[in-house]
Amino acid sequence: MIMKKTHVLSTIFLILVFILSCDNESKQDDNNKNRSNIPIIEADTVDATNNFYDNAETYSLQTFDLEVTGEIANPGIVDFSELPMHSLIVKETVLDGDKDTFIGAYRYDGYSLYDILNKRCLNKKNAEVFSPIIDLFVEIENDKGDKVIISWGEIFYPNHLHEIIIATRVMRIVPSKTDELWELPVESKVVVSSDLITERNISRPTKITIRSYNKDLKVEQGKDPLFSPKIDVYVENEISEILYKNPINIPEISLHTIFYGRGRGIHSTQPFTGVSLKSFFKGKIKRTQKALQEGIFVIAADDGYRGVFTYSELCNRNDQAEVLLVCRPELKNKGIFRVFPSCDFFSDRAIKGINAIYYSENQE
């Protein structure tokens, strides 16, 4: 009788152990999914290809619904299944006070903002006053309160398309001599591959809002002559400086280009010579996380034509694609100042007859 009771108790104990084990395995599976620690693509450990960016395991990132809204006619949740996947390589570095801190090198796979927004029909709030699209930008937010801003030009005008993605997979780029394993991200994230300090690479994006810049500027289409003898430079609505010529304390740069317009095609193949706007604003705007994530410039012309550039786009690039301020005092029509964005394929944001530059970190 005692043996039977002992056998029954042993059986019950084994059943309980089995149930607890299954429950733990189930929880562990959920944790594995959330922590991205199950490789979905194995590493090329024998160098079967010449690709440096497949030598470690690739992991899935936890994803979330992503809503697109704002000044568009067809808002809604993004269907990633309809989009092609792109890969980017990034050396991630964040601000640590006044210094930079490197946190890892990765290959990210995901879906480009270009593709995500490509079929969204624009419905600009200010279209009746200013129809061009170069004053548009997008705000990308997560449910933790983080927000970053990307100009429409960064998405649709650059020389290299599909270089801003919502990443859903990640692979460490591991140094071959040290085998240092950077900490793996867990959640989907925004990845802007042209940024030097990668503060715009926020995790868990859930909302994209398309907006036109809210600045009331008088528009005189076809104004002739298009001319302003000076530029008023505003930082947070306060006059910072008035320019009558290029600053003499900043060396000029000449950049050769094939200057090509979206409407009229080829303009010229002559170089542009001017000063870097990055250098000009270096002492005027402090490099902070908020500036890197949310800073916006609006460059406006005498006829009301205007374009949006982000702080990171002008002052935080890793590709040395400068935006130049060009001063041509001899031009009495369509002068004397213009910008040349060497990062752009088209000439649309090469604004001429500039009379004001506005900078702000608050777009409310």
pLDDT band, residue 364 (cuts 50/70/90): low
Q: pLDDT of 208-231, one tens digit each?
A: 999 999 888 999 988 988 999 999
Instruction: Express as a percent the part of the chain with pLDDT over 70.
Output: 90
Which residues neighbour 185 within 8 Å (Cβ) at sequence distance 6 or greater?
A: 36, 61, 106, 167, 170, 203
pLDDT of residue 263: 83
What's the average model confidence in pLDDT over 30-34? Answer: 43
Q: pLDDT of 66-124, one tens digit each?
A: 999 999 999 999 999 999 999 999 999 999 988 899 999 999 999 999 999 999 999 99
The two three-digit tokens of residue 144, written as one number? 């933790």
Give every strand in the sheet of 136-142, ordered side by side. 76-77, 67-70, 205-212, 136-142, 147-151
Q: Which of 34-43, 218-227, 268-277 has the lowest mean pLDDT?
A: 34-43
pLDDT of residue 105: 97
Domains of the chain: 51-212 (3.90.420.10), 231-360 (no CATH)
| Contact of 103 with 197, CB cutoff 8 Å | no
What's the average model confidence in pLDDT over 280-289? Answer: 95
pTM metric for this prediction: 0.87
pLDDT of residue 36: 52
CA dist 315 to 29, 214, 285, 286, Å? 43, 22, 10, 11
CA distance 288 to 310: 13
